[in-house]
Amino acid sequence: MEATISVEEKLIGVLEEESQLLDDILSLQGAVRLCVKKRKWNELEKNLSELQAKGDRFSELDLMREELSAGKNLYTDSNIAVCSNAVRSKLVKSKIENQVLNEYVSTTRKFLQRVFDDALPESRNKIYDRYGRIVKNEASSLILNQVI
């Protein structure tokens, strides 16, 4: 006799798989941050493609979770609530990790732009497009013989 799996059991299975996937995503996000800081670009590309694949799989699981939980309160069943809370907390951690990386890249970019503006005085001149709007002038190419 074939055993049927209830909707609740399927939902718990999806939530547990999402939780495991988020653990993998969080570790990859940390690896991406380290690759950026240490300038390991080949490793960064590998980690980003792996992160993209895991993100795609998470999106698929999230659609399944939405279908299974349609019209249900995820907090009434204690087993489902525990899994759901774990997934939510990992999503918040992932969001924070993304913000940290974004802030690091943004700050570094601004710093380097100031260094290039100081090193190349002609880049501070204003350039206008054919409609009279100011166009941001950035260094077209620069070769350095030292690591910044």
pLDDT at 2: 45
Backbone Cα Rg of the chain: 23
pLDDT < 50: residue spans in the chain: 1-2, 123
Answering whether pTM is above 0.75, one says no
- The DSSP-derived string for 18-51 is HHHHHHHHHHHHHHHHHHHHHT-HHHHHHHHHHH
- Residues 48 and 98: their CA atoms lie apart, in Å, by 13
